[in-house]
Amino acid sequence: MDFVKLEMDGALATITIDRPKALNALNRQVLSELSDAIGQVAANRSLRTLIVTGGGEKAFVAGADIAEMANFSNAEALAFCEQGHRVLDSLEALPIPVIAAVNGFALGGGCELALACDFIYASEKAKFGLPEVTLAVIPGFGGTQRLTRIVGRARAKEMIFSGDMIDAAKAREIGLALEVVPPAELIEKCKKLAANIAKRGPLAVAQAKRVIDAGADLKLGDANAIERDGFMKLFATADQKEGMAAFLAKRPAEFKNA
Ligand code: CAA
């Protein structure tokens, strides 16, 4: 892969969008490589967490590639949008937690990539925005929908109508970024959380993610039915027996992902 790096270190995978000369902008090749990397993560049962970040000093991802899009026909625009949606949907659907480590500009398609992760940790120099209207288009990789679900309709409209960037502190204030840390501490902060997640029951973490995501757009009663189903199913796992036996025996649990 030319522009996407996939590293696996024990239970942790890291995907780096690495095209710093174009501030890691997403063209069709980068999206295709990202799709391959996500497929490899999905196929590896020893992984417990994925971190997604940007290569170089300046950017997480500064958006979809404007040079590639500039002369798109309607059909090409739709195909590009569909490719972006497919790739980000597959990222969102991974059973393991995915942390966006936003180390710089996260604009347009880059902000949308971060929004498709489970949550965002940001460096103090991160900048977020959906500036598509400055190019006379709208977000096309899910930003109108995912941002709205995270920060609410009015904040999403403010960001999308104005095209303005917000800094990391503002992103935390509106619930877009969960944590803001000095740039040099960002990856360590994400790794620390990943190490904690790796100690928990893997099937339970995956079930929690499934239940939260599946219930998010449903009525509470229907969503709680999904929780009941997930809770019940975990009692057929060896890890549930081990987790509870270990607690009662006052010893650390050893989970087998089974
Ligand atoms: N697409 C293609 N190339 C990009 C890019 C993008 N989204 N963002 C930056 N680049 C390129 C620049 O063209 C420049 O290339 P050259 O060196 O060959 O000229 C290089 O990256 C460095 O960028 P700048 O010189 O502009 O760096 P800067 O520090 O002056 O500015 C910036 C940084 C404010 C992020 C600015 O680059 C910028 O505004 N980028 C575009 C952001 C944007 O509009 N993103 C949304 C794209 S539309 C989209 O994403 C649609 C969708 O939802 C699917």
Which residue in 76, 71, 67 sits closest to 26, CA to CA? 67
pTM, 2 dp: 0.98
Q: What distance in angstroms lies between residue 37's CA and the mean position of ligand 1's atoms?
A: 24
Alpha carbon distance 144, 160 (integer Å): 8
Q: Can you list the domains of the chain with their CATH numbers?
A: 4-198 (3.90.226.10), 202-249 (1.10.12)
Enter the tokens of residue 54: 């940007």
What is the per-residue pLDDT across 73-104, written as a single tens digit (0 to 9) for each? 999 999 999 999 999 999 999 999 999 999 99
Q: Which amino acid is at 103?
A: N
Residues 6+ apart with CB under 8 A from 174: 151, 155, 166
Q: What distance in angstroms lies between residue 197's CA and the mean position of ligand 1's atoms?
A: 35
Q: Which amino acid is at 145?
A: Q
Enter the tokens of residue 114: 């971060």
Alpha carbon separation from 84 to 107, 165, 201 (Å, rounded): 14, 22, 32
What is the per-residue pLDDT across 96-124, written as a single tens digit (0 to 9) for each? 999 999 999 999 999 999 999 999 999 99
Which neighbouring-strand residues pair with 102? 122
Round the CA-based radius of gyration of the chain to a whole number and report it: 19
Confidence bin at 161 (pLDDT 50/70/90): very high
Write out residues with Cβ below 6 Å of ligand 1. 22-23, 25, 62-67, 84, 105, 107-109, 112, 131-132, 135, 139-141, 143
Cβ–Cβ < 8 Å for 157, 133? no
Confidence bin at 148 (pLDDT 50/70/90): very high
> What is the pLDDT of the chain when averaged over all its residues?
98
Given this model, what pLDDT does residue 210 score? 98
Average pLDDT over residues 43-60: 97
